[in-house]
Amino acid sequence: MAHASSRAIVALALACSLVNALPVAAQSVAPTYPRPSILPIPPRDLPPTPPVIVRPPPQNQACTTGDCVSYNLSTQDECVMFDRQATGDQRWAAGLSLDADSELFVERGQRQWNVTAYRLRWFNGAWSGWYVAGVNDLDHKFNPGNNTMRRMWSYFADHEHQALACHRRQ
Half-sphere exposure for 165 (CA within 13 Å, toward CB): 26
**pLDDT band for position 119 (cuts 50, 70, 90):** very high
**pLDDT band for position 87 (cuts 50, 70, 90):** very high
Residue 72 contacts residue 153 (beta carbons within 8 Å)? no
Predicted TM-score (pTM) of the model is 0.59
pLDDT at 24 (0 to 100) = 39
Residue 81 contacts residue 52 (beta carbons within 8 Å)? yes
Q: Is 20 helix (H, G, I), strand (E, B) or coil?
A: coil
Whether residue 161 has pLDDT greater than 90: yes
**pLDDT band for position 2 (cuts 50, 70, 90):** very low
Could you give the CA distance from residue 92 to residue 105 in angstroms, rounded to a whole number? 9
pLDDT at 107 (0 to 100) = 80
pLDDT at 41 (0 to 100) = 55
What letter does residue 84 receive in the DSSP assignment? Answer: E
| Average pLDDT value for residue range 45-67 | 60
| Average pLDDT value for residue range 57-86 | 74
| Average pLDDT value for residue range 25-31 | 46
Whether residue 11 has pLDDT greater than 80: no
Could you give the CA distance from residue 98 to residue 102 in angstroms, rounded to a whole number? 8
Q: Which residues pair with 161 in a beta bridge?
A: 84, 120
pLDDT at 20 (0 to 100) = 42
Whether residue 130 has pLDDT greater than 80: yes
Could you give the CA distance from residue 169 to residue 14 in angstroms, rounded to a whole number? 25
| Average pLDDT value for residue range 22-50 | 52
**pLDDT band for position 85 (cuts 50, 70, 90):** very high
User: Chain centroid to CA 164: how far?
Assistant: 5
Nearest to 117 by CA among 69, 153, 167: 153
